[in-house]
Amino acid sequence: MSQQASYQIKTSELVKVVASGWLGTAMEFMDFQLYSLAAAIVFNEIFFPESDPAMGLIMAMGTYGAGYVARLVGAFVFGHVGDKMGRRTVLFVTITLMGLASTLIGFLPTYSEVGIWAPAGLVALRIIQGLGAGAEISGAGVMVTEFCETKTRGLVGSLVGLGTSSGTLLANLIWTIILTMLTKEEVLLWGWRIPFYASFVVMIAAVLIRMFVHESPVMAEKKKLLEAEREKQLAGDVPVEQQPKKGRKSFIVALALRFGQAGNSGLMQTYLAGFIVTVLAMEKTVATEANIISSCISFFTIPFVGWLGDKFGRRKMYMVLSLATAIYAVPMMLLFETKDPVILTIAMVIGLNVGVQGLFALENVVLTELFGARHRVTMVSLAKEIAGLVATGFGPIIAAAAVTAMTGSWVPLAVMTILFSMSSFFGAYFSEDTTGRDLNELDDAM
């Protein structure tokens, strides 16, 4: 029996669920971009002033990576809560942890005021923020996808991805205004704190909407199916072929798909901001303006890719976008080498919309379809965060170290982009096409 045959989802309820997921994703990516831009632009001077500029950037990115270790713990803990107690319950906790931690970063004293306690406080708040983020975007993506009709699952499910554009757009807009209106001294003195205060507003909005959202209909069906399964097990009436699948292949595929998208995101949305300023010696606003333009365009890209996934299959779209990004890697960096702000912006916008936003439009729905209702939130969260820890958490650190070692060469960035993109390509190639799968099924797709 299909999910749609079992439940009639009201349009008003679906709108609330999508809005809830969109705000949660917006907040995560807003925090993500606020911190990554701060790490690339000012944190090396505020929290690591005794280092040279290149080493300060590496240390700032290292602090950024600390949050990803905590995300893995949060994925396991809160993913398990989401599977046992419900998607709605865990989303209240995760959004609160993220919002409060991000807001408190704006109240931290600097290195000049308290010495080593400043970066220590930054790391502590990044860990708390990471605990909440570990299951926030995964839980929100699963919840929205479980509410969707099968035929429009890719399109509607991709709308959660608009939170990436909204969050990134807002963060870059705030930073652009600050960098444009304030002097460097004012930014270092107090201006850098303003973006983090904005997280509190988004957190309150998300919490208020989630108060009026019902639990996923899949959770109700899951309880019935698990009870029926237990009764059969007690009666010894479960054939071997009907035993729960372990889903190892589903997990490996999910890791590969996520690794590619997360790696490209870490390079293009995080490290390139620092590369443009530190290595190319261009204005700090170039990177933020490119991100703003890219985010605006992605409001079209994300739902369009989601629709294409419904029409042609999500597996096929994953392979097309991943291969296109790998082919584009070297030309993109050659365009960067021109140091022309317009050309560089165009190059960055294309890379972000194809290799980051385009893949993300597919990711939440595909990963949700790969896993069964039995442990879906846990497995989606773990796949996202394990791959994210390696790719996005440590990718920018590796990139910064490699570029420094090669005296500013862009070659390591092109090579890393190709490797990340081919990970997604081969993950999709060896996967089954799960487009339209019944989400009530307890077992994993592979």
Q: What contacts 439, CB < 8 A, 6 or more positions away?
A: 3, 145, 146, 218, 368, 369, 373, 376
Instruction: Using pLDDT thresholds of 50, 70 and 90, give the confidence band for residue 2.
Output: very low
Q: Of 113-122, 210-219, 290-299, 416-425, where does mean pLDDT reach its minimum?
A: 113-122
Question: Is 7 exposed, middle or buried, given 0-12, 13-18 or 19+ CB atoms closer than 10 A?
Answer: middle
Angle at 210 (CA atoms; ends 204, 215), nearest 5 degrees: 160
Position 330 scores a pLDDT of 97
Superfamily of domain 10-217+245-429: MFS general substrate transporter like domains (1.20.1250.20)
Percent of the chain with pLDDT over 70: 90
Among 183-192, 253-262, 401-410, which is the least confidently predicted range? Answer: 183-192
Are residues 26 and 39 in contact, defined by beta-carbon separation less than 8 angstroms? no
DSSP code per residue over 22-83: HHHHHHHHHHHHHHHHHHHHTHHHHT-TTS-HHHHHHHHHHHHHHHHHHHHHHHHHHHHHHH
pTM of the model: 0.83
Structure tokens that stand for 58 in this block: 């590496």
170-205: per-residue pLDDT in tens? 887 888 888 888 888 888 888 888 888 888 888 888
Q: Read off φ and ψ for residue 194, nearest 5 degrees.
A: -55, -45
Q: Is 106 strand, coil or helix?
A: coil
| pLDDT above 50 for 54 | yes
Give dist(CA 425, CA 133) in Å, integer.
26
Q: How confident is the model at residue 287 (pLDDT cuts 50, 70, 90)?
A: confident
Burial of 5 (0-12, 13-18, 19+ CB in 10 A): exposed
List all residues 6 or more positions away from 236 whose beta carbon is below 8 Å from its beta carbon.
Answer: none
Cβ–Cβ < 8 Å for 64, 32: no
CA 94 to chain centre: 14
Taking only the tens place, the pLDDT of each residue in 199-232 is 888 888 888 888 888 888 898 888 888 888 888 7
Asked whether residue 61 carries a pLDDT value surpassing 70, the answer given is no
Neighbours of 314 (CB within 10 A): 28
Of 127, 135, 147, which Cα lies nearest the Cα of 95?
135
For residues 57 and 396, give the distance between their C-alpha atoms in angstroms, rounded to a whole number: 10
The residue that leads in pLDDT, 74 or 287, is 74
Check residue 4 and give its pLDDT. 44
Res. 111: pLDDT tops 90: no
